[in-house]
A and B are shown apart, each in its own frame.
Chain A
Amino acid sequence: MSTKKTAETEEPRVGVYICHCGGNISDHVDVKKVAENLEKVPGVAVAHTNMFMCSDPGQELIQEDIKSGKINRVVVASCAPSLHETTFRGAIKRADMNPYLYEHANIREQVSWVHHGEAATAKATSLVTAAVAKAKELEALDPIKVDAARHATVIGGGIAGLRAALDLAQRGIEVALIEKSPFLGGQAANLERIVPTGERAADLIQDLAAKVMADSRIRVYTCSRIVKSEGYVGNFKITLKTQPPDSQADLEKLQEVAAKGEKPGRFVPFAGFLAVKVPTTASEQVLDSGAIVFATGFSTYTPRDGEFGYGQNPEVITLPQLIRFMSQEKSRGRSLTINGRTIRRVALVHCVGSRQIPGIHEPDADGGLNEYCSRTCCAATLQAASEIRERYPLTHVLEYYRDIRTYGRGQEEFYERASENHVMFLRYEPEDPPQVERLSKGNFPLRVTVKDTLTFGEALSADVDLVVLSVGMVPSRIADLVDMMKLPVGADRFLQEVHPKLRPVELANTGILLAGTCQAPMDISEACNAAAAAAAKATSLLSKGYVELDPFVAQVDLSRCKGNGACVAACTVDAIVMQTVEVDGQSVERAEVNPALCTGCGVCVAVCPENAIDVKGWTLEQYEAMVDAIVAD
């Protein structure tokens, strides 16, 4: 520890180490000359050259100089810092010096490989001198450690939420699973069979939910919602309100469950897994949580009144409604019957509420369009088509589609099976969608007309008993949570990850993770993968009991801060607040940085009129010193 303290208080004594890189540098840069030049720079205690600084003997050279007390700052001039900066920081740390008292000069990729002759040597000298100038300004830094509760809050009790909760619990993390309805299972409870595996949705939900209920590390809060959230990664404070169910849909489902005499602990089709008894009084509690996993899922798109005749004709229904009718339909006739009506011919229309195009589709009440593909509807529609054909051979099926997107493993077979089952396919362009009209006379209630691009754009009409709309996914309504936690939302109105490949299950808000269809449409297997990936990230964050954050965060120099607040206004992540402090017996406002929230972008540095704020390790003073060194020669 003593070396760390002295390093900050003593005069800087910089050790400079210049690498030959086996000729890569020394063939173009006169490294001896650079060392000689550097020896003359004030503050430089030693300047060595070595064939390979990254080798063990090279690293030992630095360590010996540190241990003998010759130096308290290190500059290595070698290849790109991405290759060996960590190597040298490690070597310094092993010599018991703070690894942040180190600066790297890149004289291979940015000098010897692009310049030659005297110019190369001169530039190398300048860059190393600039690095020395920065090194003299460096201060010892320590990674920021934030204690973290080994507890995660999962919001949403659908498949993704259940999966994430179980994964976290099995890694020893306490979990609060919060679900606003009385039921677990989410939208999957409205399915009969899973495409393409053919598993029963009921079995999957029962399996997961029972495991969740049996796990002592998971507390399930149904009929609950978050009313307040404060804090940051490792230390969220979440206020939860539990109250008797009041939504019409929940009350209807509860009545049905009661009528069936079902008790908590069982899955009820088209309702869900009734986890615990519903509360009769409202209550509030506060949870201390280290991370939050969003698994708030999706709702199905509700067609506009009149969209493909929906809402105006009882014979126009959605695919989830069809699935439910079919599951309740126990008659063994050779035709599908719905509400007692024989269905001789049914039209299935794809892409309802998905793949909407500006200028063609009508925006919704909020002015938005669902421009995305909902991913799961094609396979689900094809499965419904085949099931109708196989169970009810006298019912004919027509599918009106734009592209068949049976992308998943085992899904293409559903397409083929539907063709083999003589499902008739008609393909439409978005600007010429199928028209549904009511027939006043004749045998059938509805007529569907489409310009079929598979038969050279011929207008084809079919009279049908039933039109089924394959409705897409829309994100669940979570505007309250989005506002409360300041969550990023994409143009598609789903939650927006930091980057789809670099950090696909993380939100920009550190410690808040994404699981499943709150992020984008997915099928069950994809949602489970996303949930497990989110659980893995949360486990990495919380398993140590503390969160280690980069030390490169903003710091306020209180001797300079005058409390004008420009930094607070400029900060995009709300990491700076004004605090009242005592200065010379007076109460004044001063800026204070929360290092757990600061990303170190430096936007505050530039706006401070007093130069009172800086990013540690990358300070303005350090840069100015470097520029001075560069212009000096």
Chain B
Amino acid sequence: MEPSRELNFDALVIGGGIAGLQAALDLADQNFKVAIVEKDATIGGKMIRLSKVFPTLDCASCITTPKMAASAHHENISIFTYCDLTSLKRDGQEIKADITQMPRYVDADKCIGCRQCEYGCPVYVPNHEEGNFNFRKAIYIPFSNAIPQIALMDVENCSLCGKCAKVCPTGAVDYFQQPEDFVIRAKTAVLATGFKLTPMDQKPQYGGGKIQNLISSLDMERLLAPHGPYQRVIRPSDGKEPDSIAYVQCAGSRDKTLGVPYCSRVCCMYAIKQAMLLSGALPLADITIYYMDIRAFGKGYEQFFQNAKAMGIEFVKAKIAKIEQADNQYVRLRYEDQEGNGGVVEREHDLVVMSLGMVPDWNPAGVCDVACDTDAFIKSTIPSLAPTVTSIEGVFAAGVAIGPKDIVDTIAEAGAAAMEASKYLNALENPKAA
């Protein structure tokens, strides 16, 4: 299929998470025209899905939504959501991106985000945004503060009953919408493709994803979010309020057997943060964090960790060897005691959270020939002095795309990538000045 249109920008940002938004804003504020291409139906990335963020305990939504709104309203930024990047290549003086607009089955120009379709839709689907803890409809807006506020249809689950089309006040529902290919040409690009969690089903010792009440750290973020699925913390299997909650640190980091030898940098801190939030939500619950080393290295992090200890959160130095289902849907942890009397110890908890690590969300193979390291993150070619420079001229990277990091470091790095991109643009415009 021939691309329907070709668009030109100064800079192209791949990924609309916090790294991409910050890079786009820093470029747009320097008066460059920026396109953000996002694969999801909304911008905001992982951060908008978090509860509160360490070490300030600000609510994640309060910090992310201003940046989302600033990007959406910025006269120099154009946002393309629900788009698939099929190719990103240098083409002479330019970076050429082939992009497919995935069909929402809703006309984005007509949809006013009123959610009448969503209310009318009779089909309930487990809501992945909420850790599958509750349900959404087959036509829906991803979540309340999504940007753009445009509905999308989940055709795999749609029963084609036609109700949404009937109730839509603007006639925006379009069952016959087709994918649309288009091209973006830009002079520079920033890769801000982010991360996903280390898959939890890869480690047989940890139950291969089949143990009840063993949840991922992002699932716990949703349970803790003020607008989360239950608006309180309960055990998913039976709705019991948990009395005893445990965190398994380095579940999917510092583990060569998973191909993840590196430290994911954020898990210690998010576990401590969640533990603190839990002790606020469930004051009587016992909370234990099983760890190898507590890595509270950022500004204000160590103090945060010491506060958590003072609050009575239990820290046990141990690498969990095995996780099993125990009776009554409890979760049993087995580890070697390092600090007590030694030997193998078993303990059971109501609810266990795996502090999963970060792996890259985007595999450039076949799409973009940017060099990656053995750990699959994008390679930084000037790692000390200009960490955002990649192997392709004029293409920069920021955030977890070039290695695990927390939000603070990600935002700084996004600013740095914007600086590199703006210098590159400046040099193109004024070859003599560079």
- Residues of A at under 8 Å CB distance from B? 21-24, 51-52, 54, 82-83, 86, 159, 163, 167, 170-172, 194, 197, 199, 204, 207-208, 354-355, 357, 371-373, 375, 403-413, 453-454, 456-457, 490, 492, 494, 499-502, 504-505, 519-521, 524-526, 528-537, 539-540, 543-544
Contacts and interface: CB of A to CB of B under 8 A. Distances in A.
Interface in B276-312: 293-303, 306
Task: Summarize A's interface: helix, strand, loop or mixed.
Answer: loop
Given A405-B293, A528-B386, 9 more contacts: A21-B112, A22-B114, A171-B423, A197-B383, A373-B297, A413-B261, A520-B298, A528-B385, A540-B30
A52 B30 contact: no
Contact of B384 (A357, A490, A524): A524
Given A501-B407, A533-B412, A536-B30, A52 B293 contact: no
B279 to A, nearest CB: 20
Contacts of B67: 502
A86 to B, nearest CB: 5
B427 A170 contact: yes
B299 A500 contact: yes
Contacts of B66: 502
Interface in B161-202: 169-170
A622 to B, nearest CB: 24
B419 A526 contact: no
A456 B339 contact: yes
Contact of A194 (B169, B373, B384, B408): B384
Contact of A501 (B63, B303, B341, B422): B63
18 contacts: A24-B116, A170-B433, A197-B384, A199-B384, A371-B302, A372-B299, A372-B303, A413-B261, A501-B53, A520-B299, A525-B385, A529-B387, A529-B388, A532-B388, A532-B420, A533-B411, A535-B419, A536-B26
Contacts of B426: 170-172
Interface in B330-351: 338-342
A502 B293 CA distance: 29
B317 A409 contact: no
B116 A23 contact: yes
Nearest to B341: A456
Contacts of A539: 30, 419, 422
A163 B56 contact: no
B434 A170 contact: yes
Contact of A23 (B169, B293, B295, B418): B169
A82 B63 contact: no
Contacts of A23: 114, 116, 169
B293 A404 contact: yes
A536 B418 contact: yes
Tell me if B's interface is mostly helix, strand, loop or mixed: loop
Contacts of A373: 296-298, 301-302
Contacts of B262: 409-410, 412
Given A505-B412, A533-B416, A22 B112 contact: yes
Contacts of A163: 385
B108 interface: no
A492 B414 CA distance: 26
Nearest to A24: B114
B73 interface: yes
Interface in B103-141: 112, 114, 116
A625 B44 CA distance: 39
Interface centre among B66, B375, B403, B418 (most CB of A within 10 A): B418
A22 B170 contact: yes
A407 B384 contact: no
A163 B254 CA distance: 32
B265 interface: yes
A83 B145 CA distance: 11
B257 interface: no
A500 B56 contact: yes
A531 B416 CA distance: 8
B295 to A, nearest CB: 5
Q: Which among A171, A371, A490, A494 has the highest number of chain B CB atoms within 10 Å?
A: A171
A528 B427 contact: no
A543 B30 contact: yes
Given A21-B114, A22-B170, A172-B426, A453 B384 contact: no
A457 B116 CA distance: 64
B64 to A, nearest CB: 9
B6 interface: no
A163 B412 CA distance: 14
A207 B385 contact: yes
B247 interface: no
A22 B340 CA distance: 66
B116 A22 contact: yes
A403 B66 CA distance: 36
B386 A532 contact: yes
A197 B298 CA distance: 21
Nearest to A217: B433
A212 to B, nearest CB: 12
Contacts of B142: none
A530 B414 CA distance: 10
Interface in B21-79: 26, 29-31, 53, 55-56, 58, 63, 66-67, 69, 73
A22 B386 CA distance: 51
B340 to A, nearest CB: 7
A54 B375 CA distance: 48
Contacts of A407: 263, 265, 295, 297
B242 interface: no
Contact of B339 (A403, A408, A453): A453
A194 B382 CA distance: 13
Contact of A529 (B26, B298, B415): B415
Given A409-B403, A532-B415, A456 B340 contact: yes
Contacts of A536: 26, 30, 415-416, 418-419, 422
B394 interface: no
